[in-house]
Amino acid sequence: MTTETTPPRSLGAVMSSEAGYEAEVDDSPLRVSGFVSLLLALLSGFAIVALPMVAVAIASILFGIYALRKSDSQSIPVGTTAARIGILLAVLFGSWGIARATFKTQTLGGQAEYFARQFVRVASQGNKIYASELQKSYVNRYLKTMPLEERYQQAREERERQIAAAAENGGGGPGPDEEDSTVTDLVKYSPDHKWYLDRPVRVYSHYGRQMAEVILADSQAEKPYRLMLILEYLINKDNGDGEWYVETCTPFRKRIVAEKVL
């Protein structure tokens, strides 16, 4: 006697056909812009040390806003969480970078204005030696313990001997010192003369050098007179302190800029 046996169906088949179970399909839309926003937000962290990277933070915010747009699907789009995190980080890093740059500009600008005013005051007192020292970087200045008057006198005598020796030999030698007429002319002003800041101090970077432009105006003159001082900020490697020096001191003149470059 033979019997027929029916092979048992799998549990998955029973659940799907007999029990009415159906696998759910995730139809949530994908927002790639949300992940782009998060990536740009992480890159915008460099805005803390480089202000131009704030543009990356702005781009991250724009991508994040685009990723959070309304969807026709009832499910939450994939990538919106990344977009929210990206916007938050971009705002944080961007604000941090702007605040740091603003604080640095105000601090260095205030220091540069103070140093420029002190330089003008020293020059107005007729102290050419100290004015000359303030026009040197800290590595080229004489030590505080050195008698500056004697040292400058020795340098002046040595230069005169070189000029005399060159003249006797009939050869060309070092020419006479040419004093900065602008600095020398400041002696006609009283040390307490009121100099007004003509415009906000411009702090900028020039080929890696931290510079500041200070323009002081003499409103009491018959003709408006403005003095432009270009200063450089250096870090003293010995003690880590910041050191200013006056690189240029000239009457202010408008820069000549070509309207078109051929």
Q: Which of 82, 101, 120 is the last residue of a domain?
A: 101
User: Digits of tens for pLDDT over the chain (262 positions)?
Assistant: 455 555 554 444 444 444 444 445 556 778 898 899 999 999 999 999 888 999 999 999 999 999 888 877 777 888 889 999 999 999 999 999 999 999 989 999 999 999 999 989 888 887 777 778 788 877 776 655 555 555 555 555 566 666 666 666 665 444 444 446 778 788 888 888 889 998 899 999 888 889 999 999 987 766 778 899 999 998 888 777 888 989 888 888 776 555 554 4
What are phi and psi for residue 196, nearest 5 degrees?
-105, 145
Only one residue has tokens 């994040």, namely 64
11 domain residue, yes or no: no
129 domain residue, yes or no: yes
Q: Considering its fold, how many domains does the chain have in total?
A: 2
How far is Cα 134 from Cα 147, in angstroms, rounded to an integer? 16
What are phi and psi for residue 232, nearest 5 degrees?
-120, 140
Q: Which of 53, 71, 101 is the last residue of a domain?
A: 101
Contact 51, 98 (CB under 8 A): yes
Verify that 89 and 165 share a domain, yes or no: no
Q: What is the pLDDT of residue 139?
A: 75
How far is Cα 226 from Cα 217, in angstroms, rounded to an integer? 4
How far is Cα 109 from Cα 201, in angstroms, rounded to an integer? 6
64 domain residue, yes or no: yes
Q: What is the pLDDT of residue 156?
A: 58
Contact 111, 242 (CB under 8 A): yes
How far is Cα 36 from Cα 38, in angstroms, rounded to an integer? 5
Q: What is the pLDDT of residue 224?
A: 78
Domain that holds residue 73: 28-101
Q: What is the pLDDT of residue 51?
A: 87
Q: Which long-range contacts (CB under 8 A, 24 or more apart) does 49-57 make?
A: 49/97, 50/97, 51/97, 51/98, 51/101, 53/97, 54/94, 54/97, 54/98, 56/90, 57/90, 57/91, 57/93, 57/94, 57/97
Q: What is the pLDDT of residue 130?
A: 76
Q: What is the pLDDT of residue 143?
A: 59
How far is Cα 140 from Cα 128, in angstroms, rounded to an integer? 16
Q: Which of 45, 70, 101 is the last residue of a domain?
A: 101
Verify that 159 and 80 share a domain, yes or no: no
Verify that 49 and 68 share a domain, yes or no: yes
259 domain residue, yes or no: no
Q: What is the pLDDT of residue 240?
A: 77
Q: What is the pLDDT of residue 56?
A: 94
How far is Cα 162 from Cα 157, in angstroms, rounded to an integer? 9
How far is Cα 170 from Cα 158, in angstroms, rounded to an integer? 18
